[in-house]
């Protein structure tokens, strides 16, 4: 099998955890690294959480690098109310056996991508885009070297989730998002318009719980936590599971519908900070360098998750 080289940048985070279990269990990826960024919880915890999940999945072959502890300009702001104080919901933290890899995530990102053939390394960015923005500042050639950059972030028809105008990942570091989108990277943005179609219903959570592996139990625990919190805070019966979407697209692109566009980000206003202005009209945008996910096959996404966390490596 010709494996897709992949770097996952994330801020685990309960839905990041489901995305990581999907990636760890998918035989189709050559996972070069996990890079942690401050976001849902501080980077010390997101890096530890990535190491915990890696150990649960038995994937200590994948290095975890610690990255940026704060946005490019804005003050750090978490989302602990949706992920728990430690970032992994009801999962009790433990000190993983394997430490973080030596070196900063930004340097690792540059070194890993620039050492490989052009467009051969894809990225999934599941938190604020700070690490990638810093890497692009340090090595602008990264934009042409990288393959597709599948990002969870943004909102258009769905409105925001952290504010009325913005989705958390973009809101947390709008300057980083703006710099990445202006860099020439091949960005595919999976915003709330698509991720709100991918919901952890009771049946879907129960199906993962019935699998019985440690990876499945962990993924189900994350979704159970989200189910409880979203019911309490938002009043939704089934929580959206955002971060698996970019990973699922890299595995099976046909699960999503994408539209060519140009995406710009509000970085100045406090009221609309992090708003993603998604322009589909070429004549207005002067070119459509990005792609925006407009639809998701949620049954297909959950089928991938179930296969990845099951006993056999079937995807």
Residues binding ligand RIB (CB under 6 A): 11, 13, 15-16, 39-40, 79, 126-127, 152, 161, 167-169, 242-243
The phi, psi pair for 243, rounded to 5°, reads -65, -25
Q: Return the structure tokens found at 120.
A: 């051969």
Among 9, 16, 175, 266, binds Ca ion (CB under 5 A): 16
Q: Which does 168 bind (CB under 5 to 8 A by kind): Ca ion, ligand RIB, none?
A: ligand RIB
- Coarse DSSP helix, strand, coil percentages of the chain, rounded to the nearest 5 percent: 40, 15, 45
Sheet holding 149-152: strands in order across?
64-66, 29-36, 4-10, 121-125, 149-152, 187-190, 290-296, 256-265, 276-279
Q: Which is nearer to ligand RIB, 49 or 169 (CB)?
A: 169
Q: Are strands 290-296 and 64-66 parallel, antiparallel or unpaired?
A: unpaired
DSSP 85: T
Smallest distance from Ca ion to CB 13, Å:
4
Count of residues that bind Ca ion according to CB under 5 A:
6
Q: Which of 196, 242, 275, 290 is flagged as catalytic?
A: 242
242 is catalytic: yes
Smallest distance from Ca ion to CB 173, Å:
12
**126 counts as binding Ca ion under rule CB under 5 A:** yes
Q: Which is nearer to ligand RIB, 20 or 126 (CB)?
A: 126
Write out the E strands in the chain: 4-10, 29-36, 64-66, 121-125, 149-152, 187-190, 256-265, 276-279, 290-296
Scan residues 225-264 and list those touching Ca ion (CB under 5 A). 243
**176 counts as binding Ca ion under rule CB under 5 A:** no
Between CA 251 and CA 122 the distance in angstroms is: 11
Q: Which is nearer to ligand RIB, 40 or 221 (CB)?
A: 40
Report, as residue numbers or ranges, the catalytic residues: 242
The residues that touch Ca ion, with contacts defined as CB under 5 A, are 11, 13, 16, 126-127, 243
């Amino acid at each position: 099998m010709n494996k897709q080289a992949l770097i996952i940048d994330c801020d685990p985070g309960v839905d990041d955890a489901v995305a990581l279990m999907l990636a760890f269990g998918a035989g189709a990826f050559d996972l070069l690294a996990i890079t942690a960024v401050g976001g849902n919880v501080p980077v010390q915890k997101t890096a530890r959480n990535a190491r915990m999940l890696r150990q649960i999945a038995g994937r200590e072959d994948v290095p975890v690098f610690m990255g940026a502890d704060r946005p490019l300009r804005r003050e750090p702001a978490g989302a602990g109310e949706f992920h728990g104080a430690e970032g992994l919901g009801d999962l009790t933290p433990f000190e993983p056996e394997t430490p973080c890899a030596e070196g900063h995530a930004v340097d690792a990102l540059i070194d890993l991508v620039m050492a490989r053939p052009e467009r051969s390394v894809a990225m999934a960015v599941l938190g604020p885009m700070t690490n990638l923005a810093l890497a692009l500042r340090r090595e602008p050639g990264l934009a042409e070297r990288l393959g597709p950059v599948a990002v969870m972030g943004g909102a258009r028809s769905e409105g925001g989730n952290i504010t009325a105008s913005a989705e958390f990942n973009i809101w947390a570091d709008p300057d980083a998002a703006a710099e990445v989108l202006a860099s020439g990277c091949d960005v595919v943005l999976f915003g709330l318009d698509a991720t709100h179609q991918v919901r952890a219903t009771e049946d879907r959570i129960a199906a993962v719980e019935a699998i019985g592996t440690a990876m499945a139990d962990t993924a189900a625990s994350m979704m159970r936590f989200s189910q409880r919190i979203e019911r309490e805070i938002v009043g939704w019966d089934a929580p959206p599971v955002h971060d698996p979407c970019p990973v699922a697209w890299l595995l099976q692109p046909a699960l999503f519908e994408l539209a060519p566009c140009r995406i710009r980000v509000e970085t100045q206003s406090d009221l609309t900070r992090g708003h993603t202005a998604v322009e589909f009209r070429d004549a207005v945008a002067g070119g459509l360098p990005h792609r925006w996910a407009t639809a998701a096959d949620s049954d297909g996404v959950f089928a991938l998750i179930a296969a990845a966390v099951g006993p056999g490596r079937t995807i």
